[in-house]
Structure 1
Amino acid sequence: MKVLFAASEVYPFMKTGGLADVAYALPKALRQLGIDVRVIMPNYGDINVRYKERMEKICSFSVPVGWRNQYAGLLYLEEDGIPFYFMDNEYYFKRNEGSYGYYDDGERFAYFSRGVLESIKYIEDFKPNIIHCNDWHTGIIPVLLREHYSSDETYKKIKTIFTIHNLKYQGAFAKETLGELLSLGENYFSEDKLKYYDGISFMKGGIVFSDIVTTVSDTYAKEIKTPDYGEGLHGLLNEVGYKLYGITNGIDYDLYNPKYDKEIDFNFDENNIEYKCKNKMELQKKLGLPVKEDIPMIGIISRLVQQKGFDLICSVMDELMNLNMQLVILGTGESKFEDMFKYYANRYPNKVSSNIFFSNELAQKIYASSDMFLMPSQFEPCGIGQLIAMRYGSIPIVRETGGLKDTVHSYNECTGEGNGFSFTNYNAYDMLYTIKRSIDFYNNKDIWNGLVNKSMREDNSWNKSANKYIELYDKLLWGN
């Protein structure tokens, strides 16, 4: 079985969110299970030079972009046992920084999507049975495959899977994109094809034209069929429910392993969790917080945006400051939330450390040091933070939505069941009550150490999820 995994970002080459982690860890897990998976992504200008120097050029070819033909170079690199291909075009991908947010993103990813299909002609030892597309950036691939390649013997039997990582980001562009960039006729501007309000949606293309649609947790697969979470596509998602599956993401247990993590001060596992406290005290020193081993530390590592529930935190910050705890924040985002955390760090320097930037080293130290990890998201397709936190013995406090609901189960003091703390309603005081509840249990070391131990022993690796993807691949190819 041969699978070409197409994504706009892949760790360690380019990362803006959880998609990059999935596009690295899932192919790695699939290859370990015997699937020949290869990954293709754009060759961005700010990919680290240490990877650029190792890339080998395979070939160059032309990519149709509407009436134009644009240059494409195809580069190859094997990293961590995974074959990677990079689509090279300096005009589209050698930008100042980052992968998206440019005025011509529609053209850039129309080019990339068509280029993925064209590249198949030039990879000599690999003809995919399945193209696995991810989010809006590659959502148009199944459309182009059907329209422009269905009569070509090389492509006739190729099946497509489209994974929704976050439905909020649609890839919505003007109607003129159809002819100007995709060489598609007016007939595609219809409700049963690509039409999305007055324009078109690449995300909708992936949903309508792929053979199977997946999303990144079972609960999110149900939520996106409702008006509250469906981003205007809930009706369509109900129609295609027969081909919609929810498969919860995992994390790479080699990459996230407190026993061997080089970024943390003291390595540990579930058998010596006392070293977690040593990490906390080192981080307190580093951040200028009072060094106290018995004070609970709550970590937040996130984009500071409304979706992540920061308006809830904003509403009760004064009440939070009355609790016996320390709050450590890492991330960037909307200025109102950045400014709020800076303000409280200045006002309560013994309680709050606001780090309004991103550092992978500091992120790992926060996972290894914090006692709790706060994710009060408005919606969360899957979430990776809570999985990493549990791996490092940091007990998650989450709102019950999407993948947070699927992976975090509230502690029940009567039965001893549960691996974290959760609240249902999107309400600041429900969140505050849940935080207080977690602090109460933190002060009972027998219960708390049991919770930490249980969380660290859970299997949230890609093993289960990768096998579920293989079942879907089998279903596509052989109807099993």
Structure 2
Amino acid sequence: MKKILFVSSEVFPLMKTGGLGDISSSLPGALHALGQDVRVLTPAYGDTLTALAHTREITIVQAGTELRLVEGTIPETSVPIWLLVHPDFSERPGNPYLAPDGSPWLDNAERFAFLCRAAVDIAMDRVGLGWKPELVHCNDWQTGLIPPLLADEPARPATVFTVHNMAYQGLFPHDVFLRLGLPRWLWSPDALEFYEQMSFIKGGLVFSDRINTVSPTYAEEIQTDEFGCGLQGLLRKRRNDLRGILNGIDDGHWNPASDPLIEARFDVTSLDQKALNKTALRREFALHDAPDRALAVLVGRLVQQKGIDLVVEAIPELIEAGVQLAVLGTGDPVYEQRLLQAVRRYPGQIGVRIGYDEALAHRVEAGADLFLMPSRFEPCGLNQMYSQRYGTVPVVRRVGGLADTVEDANPTNLTLGRASGILFHEPTPSALVKAVQRALVIYRQPAAWRKLQCTGMCKDFSWRQSARQYLELYRAAVLSCQQAKESAGAHFRT
């Protein structure tokens, strides 16, 4: 059994802005089920403290600032969690990274440096917890200072750094680096410096014992000029330490056979019940009852990465092709407004909810025929897996984790019973429309459509297999850490 400190800026259900929140709850849960002593550290945002039961408090001091750790368990699990309490986290409502005007909080560097320093002190058992991990698992730029801050610590634990999205790098000016009081040797192109800025994510990529991304295809893509976001050279240099491990999903929380949030529960033996969810979803989005039309949906961030611009441009052709559209999400105000304009132009055929609603997301997955995910890049993606589980056929671009989790409904895969969705290549509205039209051809053949749905519903997207792959990664990181210490010791003795 390994002692693992898992550090993340968000953990569902305490905080969630995207897939990171889901993963930071589900993966520790899966590791815990495999007998690992895993404990989670995350900031205490807003009212998250009230969601924890059986808590105790510990006071720690960071850079002369008094902070508190509140201990409990992730709700509905037995996984221990520490919430880092500080006014810069806990006295701000809403998004953990963005101010109400949509711009990043001006003190994000200081806020997440607090988190990283607290993680280092916990990892070195300096805060009175009486527990020291063998490995610290860091996630995305918000935790990127942990590996470099641990680098010079004696008897340090091993580190793993997971890249959930290369596009978010935690870039700050040099004066912020100075203000954080970081060791001066970290200001170097071989450390945190990135084109005269400080890069949090680079700290994780340079100094961690092992790196991984959240799908095998994305691990290859980020080593290319197209997807590497300027760090592809570093990633190619570390390719022997880089691995792609596909995200899983919480198949208990996302299960149409037991989901309390949907209109009618169903499984592969009672798939006809899905129609009741479609009727309820149409009513909820004020869509016409149109038996001849397929219901396509989109849930997520309304930004170009997710291809929302392709969907918006394709709306007239999608309506003409014979679909209705329901959208749940928030993001770029330009696309929010264009979607709302489309509702007025096509009343009863398009419904839009701006914002995020976890319960509604379940109802959308349960009631839809098609799930649109035309991402320009997609490290892993979860909604295409949720969709298949709920008998909703995903229409996705062949990138990242989408390529790893959806089998295209080409003639060979359809014949062999492997098909579970529709894939397309080019990030254009016309390619998306053609993919939807391909889906509609199958949709109008009830037996073939049901076979496509059932294939997706029977796929295993649970965390069980992925959690075992993480244990292998942890073992490699610990071994690498031990070898580095031995090498450093031998160098010191000579």
Instruction: Report the TM range for the smaller structure's normalisation.
Output: over 0.9
C-alpha distance after superposition, 1:21-78 (max 9, x if no partner): 1100000001111111110001112326343xx26233102112xxxx1111111112
1:221-268 Cα offsets, whole Å, 9 max, x none, are: 111111111111111111111111111101001111111111101011
AA matched with 2:93:
N
Match of 1:70 among 24, 44, 65: 65
In 1, the alpha carbon distance for the partners of 2:265 and 2:189 equals 55
Instruction: Work out whether 1:107 is the aligned partner of 2:106.
Output: no
How do 1:13-412 and structure 2 match up within 5 A?
Answer: 13-47=14-48, 49-51=50-52, 54=53, 56-64=55-63, 69-79=64-74, 80-101=77-98, 102-119=105-122, 120-122=125-127, 124-147=129-152, 150-151=153-154, 156-185=155-184, 187-412=185-410
Partner of 1:442: 443
Q: Residue type matched to 2:141 in 1?
A: W
Structure 1, 356-365 or 271-280: larger mean CA deviation: 356-365
Q: Measure, in 1, the Cα distance between the counterparts of 2:413 and 2:86.
A: 58
Aligned partner of residue 212 in structure 2, secondary structure: strand
* Partner Cα separation in structure 2 for residue 48 and residue 290 of structure 1: 43
Q: For the Cα contact (< 8 Å) 1:45–1:90, is it kept in 2?
A: no
Alignment length (residue pairs): 467
Counterpart for residue 425 of structure 2: 424
**Aligned-pair CA distance for 1:334:** 0.9
In the alignment, structure 1 segments of 5+ residues that lack a partner are none
Q: How many angstroms apart in 2 are the aligned matches of 1:75 and 1:98?
A: 21
Contact 1:297 1:372 in 2 (8 A): yes
Is the 8 Å Cα contact of residues 110 and 182 (structure 1) preserved in structure 2?
no
User: For residue 461 of structure 1, what is the aligned residue in structure 2?
Assistant: 462
User: Would the alpha carbon gap of residues 91 and 431 (structure 1) be closer, same or farther in structure 2, given more than 3 Å must change?
Assistant: closer
Using the TM superposition, give the Cα deviation of residue 177 of structure 1 relative to its aligned residue in structure 2, in angstroms. 3.1
State the distance in 2 between where 1:50 and 1:241 align: 41
Counting aligned pairs with the same residue, the percent is 37
Q: Provide the TM-score with structure 1 as the length reference.
A: 0.94
C-alpha deviation, 1:311, in angstroms: 1.7
Preserved CA contact (<8 Å) 1:5 1:39: yes
- TM-score, normalised to structure 2, is 0.92
Deviation, 1:125, is 4.5
Please identify, of 120-129 and 280-289, the stretch whose mean Cα deviation from structure 2 is larger: 120-129
Check the 8 A contact 1:46/1:98 in 2, yes or no: no
When the two chains are superposed, the root-mean-square deviation of aligned CA atoms in Å is: 1.6
SS of residue paired to 1:331: strand
Between the aligned partners of 2:246 and 2:406, the Cα distance in structure 1 is 12
Inter-CA distance 392–141: structure 2 relative to 1 (3 Å threshold): same
- Amino acid of the structure 1 residue aligned with 2:83: F
Q: Which runs of 5+ in 2 are unaligned?
A: 99-104, 483-494
Is 1:451 paired with 2:452?
yes
CA positional deviation for 1:132:
0.2
